[in-house]
Copies of this chain bind each other. A is one copy, B any other.
Amino acid sequence: MTTTDAFESYLAKSNLRVTKERQQLYDGVRAQKGHFTVDTLVHRLKESGYAISRDTVYRNLPLLLEAGVVRQSFRAGRETIYEVDEGKPHHDHLLCSQCGKVEEFVDPKIEALQEDVARQFEFELQHHCHQLVGICKKCRKS
């Protein structure tokens, strides 16, 4: 009983091969809770017995993005932070500059106003990146 998962469908559609590494990568990525970097992902994959090289992860990231499996979440320093995309609705982020805490938010009014701005400048909006940076309640008390 082969699992016909979303990623395999995408690979088939794109005439790409279904390799052991890609299957394990798909499984491993979907097991991630919350936000993660490529390096932490590689480590966790190794811990799960999936020995996939860092390069293979990087090379397959564009596919995972395109297939809607992961999403580029935001950037912390020089690193790109990812998160699982499948099923999870769009949202933006609120970061604590002291402890690094990450909160997620969606504001339909902001979303709509962004569309208005794009229309005003005659841009066809593709995506946006919106981060609020501040100090969380806990950090403010110290």
Which A residues are closer than 8 A to B by beta carbons?
75, 78, 94, 96-97, 103, 105, 107, 109-110, 113-114, 116-118, 120-137, 140
CB–CB A123/B94 < 8 A = yes
Q: Which of B117, B125, B134 contacts A105 (CB 8 A)?
A: B117
Number of identical monomers bound together in the oligomeric complex? 2
CB–CB A97/B117 < 8 A = no
Closest beta carbon of chain B to A8's beta carbon, Å:
29
CB–CB B128/A140 < 8 A = no
Chain B hits for A137, CB < 8 A: 122-123
Q: Which of B94, B109, B117, B120 contacts A113 (CB 8 A)?
A: B109
Known contacts A94-B121, A117-B107, A123-B103, A130 near B133 by CB under 8 Å: no
Q: Which of B78, B109, B122, B128 contacts A130 (CB 8 A)?
A: B128
Closest beta carbon of chain B to A71's beta carbon, Å:
14
With A94-B121, A123-B134, A124-B135 already in contact, 17 other A-B pairs whose C-beta atoms are closer than 8 Å: A97-B126, A103-B123, A105-B117, A105-B120, A105-B121, A107-B116, A118-B134, A122-B136, A122-B137, A123-B135, A123-B136, A125-B132, A125-B133, A126-B134, A128-B130, A129-B129, A129-B131
